[in-house]
């Protein structure tokens, strides 16, 4: 199978088309370098339009995109010391992301010597794009290190809202699950495709950035579109019923996308968002020994249907004023649904995009499992932080929750054709 020339052609076909491919022809080669790598080697349409999302656009994909079934989330520490190296990394990531989200191999079109490592690690060969989206963010530490030093000449453009999240009551954060200079959220319907993407981005980053922490999630816990049924979290309850949905563009504009005038120091972030990531361990075994009555009181909804305990169906608005025969509110004062409701939070809403996770078990046989919370907000200072401050203090569910990881990232707007991730911040 080795060619005598020591060259093995690898072209810009989709991975799926390569299934029947065995080495002939040389048409369609497309260069990798220069941050341009979005041209399709073939002019035909995508094989299945619902299978892939464009990497380019006004906003990054993976935010209002209907939530895929799986996530592989990764945070990186930048080891490069010059802005030029950082820009090179972001350009290379841009090219690779544009390829992989279309189901193409990394570096496709570039014939590589047989004695070089393959351009793509290969485990997604033959798999469709699986609705892969790759969403990138910048952490506060990219702008200033722990000593306040301006690492890449970006400090004066650090958004005012991009600070490490405050310590919330009952936080039990682990350093090795928190923070990071850069992040990538890889969502796909096939975990092998999501893992392949993070692995190849890590590989491309070699020498410029190193994986700091990563998290796999397997069951989306929120819908981001009215076309999706509400999934269940590991407490067995529907989660995200009241989530912001892509079909509410006015609300998304108001609560998710950073506006052009939001922060005069960070106009580069207009059209972007903030990503809050929290690894929330659930005390599975104690929860499973709790009565259904107690569970529903803590959540404020019934388990079967997801209706508020004040009555109605899943999407009925809770009535916080209704009281039972005992004179107590039907939706308890300390219930999660009440404390998190916009009417109790000055109208604040979030676009949630979390996933369930299970990472084995501890020495006592307890599952290391819970919710990998992801939310996109326009301003964490008025949305996530005040809400979580209240939840951490008052939410009865907190007895069963432990926040073990935390990070905040500024998510730049989408990449224009010919541009690269964060170019409005980095190019000048």
Site for its own copies, residues 59 to 88, rule: CB under 8 A: 70, 72, 76-77
Residue 195 CB, shortest distance to its own copies, in Å, is 5
Q: Which of residues 132-191 bind its own copies (CB under 8 A)?
A: 176, 190-191
| Stretch of 123-131, 148-156, 249-257, 408-416 lying at the interface with its own copies (CB under 8 A) | 123-131
Looking up tokens 């798999």 gives: 127
Please tell me whether residue 123 binds its own copies under the rule CB under 8 A: yes
Nearer Cβ to its own copies (370/413):
370
Looking at residues 392 to 421 of the shown chain, list those that interact with its own copies (rule: CB under 8 A).
none
User: Can residue 195 be called a binding residue for its own copies (CB under 8 A)?
Assistant: yes
Nearest Cα to Cα of residue 374 among 234, 243, 276, 231:
276
Distance from C-alpha of 114 to C-alpha of 317, rounded to nearest angstrom = 62
Options 1-9, 381-389, 392-400, 420-428: segment touching its own copies (CB under 8 A)? 1-9
Residue ranges of alpha helices (H) inside 101-185 are: none
Least distance in Å: CB of 277 to its own copies? 14
235 or 376: whose CB is closer to its own copies?
235
Q: Stretches 95-103, 212-220, 261-269, 377-385: which one binds its own copies (CB under 8 A)?
A: 212-220
> 386-419 burial string, b = 16+ CB within 10 Å, else e?
ebbebbbeebbbbebbbbbbbbbbbbbbbbeeeb
Closest to its own copies by CB, 239 or 395: 239
What is the torsional sign of CA 320, 323, 327, 330? Answer: negative
Nearer to its own copies, 4 or 45 (CB): 4
C-beta closer to its own copies: residue 213 or 376: 213
Residue 70 or 131 having the CB closest to its own copies: 70
Neighbouring-strand partners of residue 361: 367
CB 421 within 8 A of CB 415: yes
Q: Which of residues 280-309 bind its own copies (CB under 8 A)?
A: 284-285, 288-293, 295-296, 302-305, 307, 309
Stretch that binds its own copies, among 17-25, 27-35, 372-380, 393-401 (CB under 8 A): 17-25
> What separation in angstroms does the CA of 423 have from each of 24, 143, 357, 415?
38, 15, 33, 8
Q: Which is nearer to its own copies, 38 or 310 (CB)?
A: 310
The C-alpha atoms of residue 136 and residue 61 are separated, in whole angstroms, by 10
The reply to whether 356 sits near its own copies by the rule CB under 8 A is yes
Structure tokens, 297: 């009181």
Taking CB under 8 A as the criterion, which residues in 315-334 touch its own copies? none
Residue among 34, 311, 347, 418 that touches its own copies (CB under 8 A): 311
Buried b (16+ CB within 10 A) or exposed e, 104-118: bbbbbbbeeeeeeee
Instruction: State the nearest-atom distance from the C-beta of 237 to its own copies, in Å.
Output: 7
Nearest distance in Å: CB 266, its own copies: 29
**Residue 54 or 358 with smaller CB distance to its own copies:** 358
What residues between 221 and 260 interact with its own copies by CB under 8 A?
229, 232-237
For its own copies (CB under 8 A), the number of binding residues is 80
- Strand runs labelled E in 59-162: 70-78, 112-113, 133-138
Q: How far apart are CA 387 and CA 209, in angstroms?
A: 33
CB contact at 8 A, 406 and 173: yes
Q: Return the number of the residue (118 or 419) whose C-beta is nearest its own copies.
A: 118
φ/ψ of 393, rounded to 5, equals -90, -40
Residue from 81, 227, 343, 361 touching its own copies (CB under 8 A): that is: 361
Q: Does 347 bind its own copies (CB under 8 A)?
A: no
The 10 Å Cβ neighbour count of residue 16 is 17
Residue 120 has φ and ψ, to the nearest 5°, of -130, 145
């Amino acid at each position: 199978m080795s060619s005598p020339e020591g060259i093995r052609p690898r072209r810009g076909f989709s991975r799926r088309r390569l299934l029947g491919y065995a080495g002939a022809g040389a048409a369609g080669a497309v260069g990798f370098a220069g941050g341009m790598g979005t041209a399709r080697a073939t002019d035909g349409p995508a094989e299945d339009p619902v299978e892939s999302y464009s990497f380019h656009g006004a906003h990054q994909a993976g935010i209002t995109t209907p939530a895929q079934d799986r996530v592989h989330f990764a945070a990186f520490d930048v080891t490069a010391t010059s802005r030029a190296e950082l820009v090179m990394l972001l350009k290379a990531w841009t090219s690779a992301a544009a390829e992989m989200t279309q189901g193409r191999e990394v570096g496709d079109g570039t014939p590589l010597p047989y004695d070089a490592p393959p351009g793509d690690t290969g485990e997604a060969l033959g798999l469709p794009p699986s609705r892969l989206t790759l969403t990138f963010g910048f952490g506060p530490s990219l702008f200033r290190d722990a000593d306040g030093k301006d690492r890449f000449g970006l400090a004066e453009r650090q958004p005012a809202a991009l600070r490490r999240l405050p310590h919330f009551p009952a936080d039990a954060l682990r350093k090795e699950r928190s923070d990071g200079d850069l992040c990538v959220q890889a969502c796909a319907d096939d975990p092998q495709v999501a893992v392949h993407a993070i692995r190849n981005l890590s590989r491309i980053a070699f020498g410029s950035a190193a994986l700091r922490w990563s998290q796999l999630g397997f069951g989306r816990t929120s819908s981001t579109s009215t076309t999706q049924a509400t999934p269940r979290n590991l407490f067995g309850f529907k989660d995200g019923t009241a989530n912001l949905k892509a079909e509410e563009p006015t609300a998304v504009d108001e609560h998710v996308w950073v506006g052009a005038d939001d922060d005069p120091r960070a106009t580069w972030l207009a059209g972007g968002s903030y990503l809050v990531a929290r690894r929330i361990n659930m005390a599975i075994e104690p929860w499973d020994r709790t009565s259904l009555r107690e569970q529903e009181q803590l959540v404020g909804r019934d388990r079967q249907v997801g209706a508020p305990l004040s009555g109605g169906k899943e999407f009925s608005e809770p009535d916080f004023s209704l009281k039972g025969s005992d004179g107590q509110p039907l939706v308890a004062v300390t219930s999660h649904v009440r404390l998190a409701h916009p009417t109790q939070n000055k109208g604040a809403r979030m676009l949630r995009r979390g996933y369930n996770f299970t990472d084995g078990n501890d020495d006592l046989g307890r599952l290391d499992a819970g919710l990998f919370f992801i939310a996109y907000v326009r301003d964490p200072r008025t949305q996530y932080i005040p809400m979580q401050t209240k939840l951490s203090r008052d939410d009865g569910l907190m007895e069963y929750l432990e926040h073990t990881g935390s990070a905040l990232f500024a998510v730049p707007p989408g990449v224009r054709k010919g541009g690269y991730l964060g170019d409005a911040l980095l190019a000048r």
